[in-house]
Structure 1
Amino acid sequence: MILGLIMRVIAGIALMLLITVFAVLFEGVDRKLHAVMQRRIGPPLLQPVYDILKLLGKENIVPRWATPVFFHGGPWVAMIASMMVFMYIPMGSLPPVLNGSGDLILILYLLSLSGVAVAVGGFASGSPIANVGAQREMILMMSYEVPLAIVVSTLAWFAYKLGMPGHPFSLETYVATSVWSVVGKAGFLGLICLFVAILTVIPGETGKGLMDIPEAKTEILEGVTVEYSGVNLALLHIGFNLRGAAISALVVSLFFPFSLGKAIGLSGVPMAIIDFPWFWVKVFLVEVFGVTFLRTAFGRLKIWQASHFYWAQVGALSLAGMILISVDVLLH
């Protein structure tokens, strides 16, 4: 038991370090693709790495009116909460480092905790600009959490009603049995609605493009992060990158769990070796669309527009998916 616990801890630490590197490198790819789409040269792919290394060597400056405990604690909690999400996500054929019966609920909690920690750090800075950004962060989070919760609860109810092997709130259930393979025509349309709804949540989680509202560089001067510097700012950047990777990994696990190794007839260790990079290719493609393409194609919304978008349009789309899934279950 002790040896197994030690091995799990080592695997968890190694996985978090590897995923952090992946998430930061995607930031470089995102900047480059964003520039190419705008017919610019753009920064080097490793620019985010250079930025973070530079920030790690800088001094943490604390505003005079800040509450130090929450001001320093916010970035750490935001980053660690985002990291912990990956402990519960199966990656290809590899099971999660930590698993249980309510993984999906815990993942939603950790994503919310990361956003709340960022907002708390902004409030604790004592800056009126950061206060505005923190308020926007909370409003945005309360808006996109509604359709996200509808998508997850609908899929869990669907898995329970159809008797899919495994716990309905465990991601391993959806990796083992693709939801696309067990639905009828109405359910297929419902899954498309849920998939589109959760795709629109990605910009909200990452706070980029049309949802670049809490920071809004040209409006409120980085907003919630305006008073941060040095190590704290580096941790916030890492946390934002991890949140984008985490929500994209969740989308892949729920809707695109298809195994490349199994498709070419592999099993065991060879299948795991093939499926791990294949999983990250899928995550990369989801991020390219959910982050890079959307932030290039659309301008930033106002906070009331973003809230209305998630509560009305995306909320209605997720409810339509729920109704279609319910009809499909009744027809079964």
Structure 2
Amino acid sequence: MILLSKILAGLALLAFASLLSLLFEGVDRIFHARMQLRIGPPLLQPFYDVLKLLGKENIVPRRAIPWAFNGAPWLAAATALMVFLYVPMGSLPPILSGEGDLILIMYLLGFSAVAMAIGGFASGSVYANIGAQREMVLMMSYELPLATVVVSLAWFAYRTGMPGAPFSLETYVAMPVWSVAGWTGTFGLLALLVSLLFVVPAETGKVPMDIAEAKTEILDGLICEYSGRNLAMFKMAFSLRTLAMCAVVVSLFFPWSLGKLLNLSGMAFFLVDFLFFWVKVFLVQVIFVTIIRTTFGRLKIWQASRLYWYQVAGLALAGMVLLSLDVIL
């Protein structure tokens, strides 16, 4: 019965996350348009796009490798979707949990990006090949600061005696890292937070880091040969990765409970915290995805790589040093 309940809860959560990612995508497009003084598409336009694509025929190029070309979009969407099984939502524990959730989430997000690159390489298109190469270079660039942030938080949680496994998201939801840090540690956490927020656009493929798609340069890059259900899965993968990355940011740095603040209990406590969690995810997506992609233009691949290897990685290392000093002092 426990296994069956987890399976049913997991399926319900995955369906909810899929629908919510498309809804947030619609809000993102409206905010983006309004900031540019345009009306923008309807709120449900992402749903219309995906449903229309699901009814279209898949076209496989003659030079493509069919099994890799057709499998990559589904693998990219599935791995991004699996992240939500390990994310605590408010006061609700994750469907699946363990001592290495953060490491697994990094692998799942990375695997989703690799699957997209494989699809581009397998399409046989020159434009898609360029986009896939850019995706791999970008991933190798932002993985360093991302790993630095995760390892620094885990080490800090272990050294300060926070209850729970250092690489489990539940640890940071149960006790916010801000509550155990001194002044030096607070500045270190701020540096890590800024570093992680810099990673969000690259992890989600949004401007200024949509270098692998670049419509005006390489005609959508690694997805330029996709159509029908395969393209729908790629659209879902982009939306799910955005929502998943914002959810991880909230769990690590903004895990505060509204239910505790209002002294709620029972079902009301879990419901309020669940809704408050998604409000925080929505705000993170609007502020650090929508506004950023509207304000800045796309970077060149060498500019993005240099940014992550030097400035962002350096900031993350500075945060690690400040957290170390906080523990020592």
Fold match, TM over 0.5?
yes
| Corresponding residue to 2:126 among 101, 125, 128 | 128
* Alignment partner, residue 247 of structure 1: 245
* Alignment partner, residue 113 of structure 2: 115
* Alignment partner, residue 15 of structure 1: 13
Partners of 1:200 and 1:325 in 2: how far apart? 19
* Alignment partner, residue 223 of structure 2: 225
* Alignment partner, residue 277 of structure 2: 279
* Alignment partner, residue 64 of structure 2: 66
Deviation at 1:67, TM superposition (A): 0.6
Partners of 1:293 and 1:310 in 2: how far apart? 20
Deviation at 1:269, TM superposition (A): 2.2
Amino acid at match of 2:310: A
Amino acid at match of 2:3: L
* Alignment partner, residue 99 of structure 2: 101
| Corresponding residue to 1:157 among 146, 155, 159 | 155
Partners of 2:53 and 2:131 in 1: how far apart? 22
* Alignment partner, residue 215 of structure 1: 213
Query: Which runs of structure 2 are paired with 1:81-96 in the superposition (5 Å)?
Result: 81-96=79-94
Q: Deviations over 1:160-201 (max 9, x none)?
A: 001100000000000000000000000000000000000011
Partners of 1:261 and 1:64 in 2: how far apart? 57
Deviation at 1:88, TM superposition (A): 0.3
Deviation at 1:234, TM superposition (A): 0.3
Partners of 2:207 and 2:99 in 1: how far apart? 35
* Alignment partner, residue 311 of structure 1: 309
Q: Deviations over 1:261-303 (max 9, x none)?
A: 0110012322111111110000000011121010011000000
* Alignment partner, residue 185 of structure 1: 183
Partners of 2:265 and 2:106 in 1: how far apart? 31
Deviation at 1:212, TM superposition (A): 1.1
* Alignment partner, residue 205 of structure 1: 203
Partners of 1:267 and 1:107 in 2: how far apart? 31
Partners of 2:273 and 2:232 in 1: how far apart? 31
Amino acid at match of 1:27: E
Q: Deviations over 1:22-47 (max 9, x none)?
A: 10111111111001111111111111
Partners of 2:205 and 2:307 in 1: how far apart? 15
Partners of 2:87 and 2:5 in 1: how far apart? 18
Partners of 2:143 and 2:241 in 1: how far apart? 14
Partners of 1:271 and 1:106 in 2: how far apart? 29
Amino acid at match of 1:152: V
| Corresponding residue to 1:302 among 295, 300, 307 | 300
| 1:324 correspondence with 2:326 | no
Partners of 1:32 and 1:269 in 2: how far apart? 34
* Alignment partner, residue 5 of structure 1: 3
Give every structure 1 segment of 4 or more consecutive aligned residues whose post-TM-superposition deviation is greater than 3 Å.
none
Structure 1 length-normalised TM: 0.98
* Alignment partner, residue 143 of structure 1: 141
Partners of 2:218 and 2:287 in 1: how far apart? 27
| Corresponding residue to 2:169 among 168, 171, 176 | 171
Partners of 1:168 and 1:267 in 2: how far apart? 28
Unaligned stretches of 5+ residues in structure 2: none
Unaligned stretches of 5+ residues in structure 1: none
Deviation at 1:17, TM superposition (A): 0.4
Structure 2 length-normalised TM: 0.99
Q: Deviations over 1:121-144 (max 9, x none)?
A: 100001111000000001111111
* Alignment partner, residue 265 of structure 2: 267
Deviation at 1:91, TM superposition (A): 0.2
* Alignment partner, residue 237 of structure 1: 235
Deviation at 1:209, TM superposition (A): 1.0
Partners of 1:274 and 1:110 in 2: how far apart? 29
Deviation at 1:205, TM superposition (A): 1.0
Amino acid at match of 1:34: H
